[in-house]
Amino acid sequence: MAEESKGFQGLKAWQKAYDLALHIYVLTKSFPKGETYGLVTQLQRAVVSVSANIAEGYERQHRKEYLQFLFIAKGSLGETETYLLLARDLEYITPTEYAIADEKRKETSKLLRGLIKSLS
């Protein structure tokens, strides 16, 4: 685990997930108003769930619980990928914007897989 004084915020996986969430929030500001309660909400909820579940799992008392929350975070990354594909294909974001967001998602996924492996 990360240095205890930093808690979950010291985890690279959490840091990347949090950065991804901030990026997605900025990106969704330009989505059509009609998507405010549709794709925007779904995408934001999925991406926030990644860092939130890493944090919640970290704060749990048992490794098994921690791993369960990390797997939930991994699932939320899958949701995020799907919503980003939809946003790209509906032309709410450009291919370049998609590529940047997806690269951040992939980096987060790689770190999350590493964290899961280190705890398994």
- Tell me what pLDDT residue 3 has: 44
What is the tens place of the pLDDT at every residue in 34-89? 998 899 999 999 999 999 999 999 999 899 999 999 999 999 999 999 999 999 99
Give yes or no for residue 1 having a pLDDT over 70.
no
Q: State the Cα–Cα distance between residues 39 and 87, nearest whole angstrom.
A: 8
Mean of all residue pLDDT scores within the chain: 94
Q: Residue 95 domain-assigned?
A: yes
- Tell me what pLDDT residue 48 has: 98
Question: Do 85 and 42 touch, CB atoms closer than 8 A?
Answer: no
Q: Residue 1 domain-assigned?
A: no
Q: What is the span of the domain harbouring residue 47?
A: 10-119
> How sure is the predictor about 2, in pLDDT bands with cuts at 50, 70 and 90?
very low
Q: Residue 44 domain-assigned?
A: yes
- CATH of residue 37's domain is 1.20.1440.60
Q: Residue 3 domain-assigned?
A: no
Nearest to 29 by CA among 92, 101, 76: 92
Specify the number of domains making up the chain: 1
CB-facing half-sphere around the CA of 63: CA atoms within 13 A: 7
The token pair at 113 is 């897989």
